[in-house]
Amino acid sequence: MEDIKLTKLANCAGCGAKVGAGVLASLLEGLQVHNDPNLLVGFDKSDDASVYKVSDDLALVQTVDFFPPIADDPFTFGAIAATNALSDVYAMGGEPKLALNIMAVPKDMPKEAVHQILKGGYSKVYEAGALITGGHSILDDEPKYGLAVTGFVHPEKLIKNSGAKPGDVLFLTKPLGMGIITTAAKVDMVSKETYDYALRLMMTLNKSARDIMVKYDVHACTDVTGFGLLGHASEMATGSDVELHIDVDNIELISEALELATIGMLPEGMYRNREFAEKYVDVGDVILAKQDMLYDPQTSGGLLIAVDSKDADKFYEELKPQVPFAQRIGGVKEKKGECYIYLH
Amino acid sequence: MVDARGLSCPVPVVMVQNAVKESNPKELEVLVDAKVCVENITRYASSQGYEVDVKEVDGGEFSMTLKKKA
């Protein structure tokens, strides 16, 4: 197969290509929509997926996600894009069942490369136990791939991003720094070891974390992707009207990414996320490079989960062996102060 | 002098890193045309002990002066 470097064809990498949260809100303003009592979660809620109640014991979860190449290897790119798309269903506590490919390919892209992207996508959908039933592809100068995913959840077991309660314990299921690593990789400033580690993280389904989470009293969950930890945490905190207190030293930051943040290897999305979310955040005395990492846009990041304190220890005990990257990163308090998120 | 106009990050910040590594200048002029590059170069310069002065020139271009702290 002809050796092509996929990321050279992309203007922005992975979830860094996402339109900023602030811009998105203004784009959606004033659009006409039906009111339907069965729509449990719609796009007004800034949640990960929409949820529609079909019957008292069944709700449909729908989401779509696609982006330009995040990795040079086509199979890896396909696998990451699929892992990322499936994640939105997991974040709602749902199980993905049906998926449709969304693809844009340049006219002159080798057929084998396109096949490998799809192969990567299919491998992750298969691992998730879901089915790809079709899709749509168009010609475009910049390749893009992702999936529209439909899943199911029991309406009473639905986990929104806005249900966090004072006393809850916060968990994060993957380390941070993927955006910085993929940015620095474009100019060959990342060790192979760290780059491969980041790719492995991005190809890890949030399925295990979801399967364990649904057995416990979880009040809120979201997946940490393009808006970074603090962007997504802001949505959780404002939507739940609570304060999130985050112990930054308990968050696993990819160590090479922290070094790269210090020397200014930061993706544009980090600055967009900072602009959107910094009004909600009291950074305390956390150093700038660490703050930047908390705003770093993640592709196929982990789940941020708020668990009732009575279940937190048992939950972590079961989670840790299955999801070794999982970390206990803080807690939820009643809204008292000016800000919604406090870094310690 | 580093002229990184028309280039998008992380390339400009790498050009500045190379210029600093090569000659460890006391002062360095940098031209860029994106805010994100200004921010990234400022972070790099601070990490290497430089003070940074930024002036916005016409048409969204920025002239940065990096001065080694005494």
Q: For A71-138, give the DSSP string.
A: SSSHHHHHHHHHHHHHHHHHHTT-EEEEEEEEEEE-TTS-HHHHHHHHHHHHHHHHHTT-EEEEEEEE
Q: What is the pLDDT averaged over residues A82-87?
A: 97
Judged by average pLDDT, the poorest of A38-47, A313-322, A334-343 is A38-47
pLDDT of residue A320: 96
Could you tell me where in chain A the CATH 3.30.1330.10 domains are found? 6-157
Positions of A marked catalytic: 15
CB-CB under 8 Å, A264 with B41: yes
CB-CB under 8 Å, A263 with B43: yes
Architecture of domain B2-68: 2-Layer Sandwich (3.30)
Q: What is the pLDDT averaged over residues A34-61?
A: 89
Domain A6-157: give its CATH superfamily. Answer: PurM-like, N-terminal domain (3.30.1330.10)
Q: Is B37 a catalytic residue?
A: no
pLDDT-based confidence at residue A331 (cuts at 50, 70, 90) = very high
Q: What are phi and psi of A196, to 5 degrees?
A: -65, -35
Does the pLDDT value for residue B9 go beyond 70? yes
- Chain A residue at shortest CA distance from B15: A187
pLDDT of residue A110: 95
Does the pLDDT value for residue A3 go beyond 70? no
CA A253 – CA A247 distance, rounded (Å) = 12
pLDDT of residue A279: 96
Does the pLDDT value for residue A238 go beyond 90? yes
CB-CB under 8 Å, B9 with A268: yes
> A25 or A217: which carries more pLDDT confidence?
A217
Q: Which residue of B17, B35, B36, B66 is the best one to mutate when testing the A interface, meaning the one whose CB has the most A CBs within 10 A?
A: B36
Burial tier of B8 (Cβ tally within 10 Å: 0-12, 13-18, 19+) = middle
Rg (CA), chain B: 11
pLDDT-based confidence at residue A4 (cuts at 50, 70, 90) = low
Helices (H), chain A: 21-27, 74-91, 111-127, 178-185, 192-202, 207-213, 228-240, 255-262, 268-277, 288-295, 309-322
pLDDT of residue A1: 47
Give the distance between the most distant pair of CA atoms in chain B: 33
pLDDT-based confidence at residue A175 (cuts at 50, 70, 90) = very high
pLDDT-based confidence at residue A6 (cuts at 50, 70, 90) = confident
- C-beta separation of A22 from A277 below 8 A: no
Q: What is the pTM of this model?
A: 0.92
Q: Which of B5, B7, B9, B67 is catalytic?
A: B9
Q: Which residues of A touch B10 (CB under 8 A)?
A: 183-184, 186-187, 189, 265
Return the number of CB contacts < 8 Å for A and B: 42
pLDDT of residue A256: 97
B19-66 confidence digits (pLDDT tens): 999 999 999 999 999 999 999 999 999 999 999 999 998 788 999 999
Does the pLDDT value for residue A13 go beyond 60? no
Domain A169-343: give its CATH superfamily. Answer: PurM-like C-terminal domain (3.90.650.10)
Domain ranges in chain B are 2-68
Q: What is the pLDDT averaged over residues A67-96?
A: 96
pLDDT of residue A14: 58
A89-143 confidence digits (pLDDT tens): 999 999 999 999 999 999 999 999 999 999 999 999 999 999 999 999 999 999 9
Q: What is the pLDDT averaged over residues A208-234?
A: 97
ipTM, interface predicted TM-score of the complex? 0.94
CA A296 – CA A277 distance, rounded (Å) = 12
